[in-house]
Amino acid sequence: MEPEMMVVILHRELVSMVVQNSVLSDFQIKKDLKATDLRNLIKDNPDGK
């Protein structure tokens, strides 16, 4: 395998790990919020930005 390909594969693995971690931490944060707070957040900020 060429070195460039290895770099791409490693980079993909790293990105997917980071994405999974951020999804998990987002879930943890939302779980800690009360449902009403979450509804208000969604209402005030439907795009999540």
pLDDT-derived band at 32, boundaries 50, 70, 90 = low
2 pLDDT exceeds 80? yes
Reduce the secondary structure of the chain to three states and give it as a string.
CCHHHHHHHHHHHHHHHHHHHHHHHHHHHHHHCCHHHHHHHHHHCCCCC
Q: What's residue 13's pLDDT?
A: 84
Q: What's residue 23's pLDDT?
A: 80
pLDDT-derived band at 38, boundaries 50, 70, 90 = low
Instruction: Quote the CA–CA distance of 16 and 6 in Å, as a whole number.
Output: 15
47 pLDDT exceeds 80? no
